[in-house]
Amino acid sequence: MRLTDKCNHRCAVCGQYGEDGYNRDDNELPTVRGNVSVERYKEMIDNLAHLKPHIYITGGEPFLYKGLVSFVTT
């Protein structure tokens, strides 16, 4: 689950913000208008639970998603 595109790092090898990353020039990115709520992510997982999926949390930098702790602890 890609929780956010936000990132405060600029790791050289990153495919998003690195030297050759597609988000390298922040000036060309669309404005982020908000985040998906924790409740919506939980609803998505509940709807898929019968499939027993493996959930990977990614981003940008997932720790910049304000609801991360609430999301992973419930």
Confidence of residue 59 (pLDDT cuts 50, 70, 90): confident
For the chain, which residues make up each domain, given as ranges? 2-72
Q: What is the model's pLDDT at position 5?
A: 81
- Which of 28, 24, 27 lies closest to 10, judged by CA? 24
CB-count exposure of residue 67 (10 Å: 0-12, 13-18, 19+): middle
- Which of 8, 7, 20, 71 lies closest to 41, judged by CA? 71
Instruction: Please write the tens of the pLDDT for every residue from 2-51.
Output: 888 888 888 888 888 777 777 766 656 556 667 889 999 999 999 999 99
What's the predicted TM-score (pTM) here?
0.70
Give the N- to C-terminal CA distance of the chain in Å, as an integer. 16
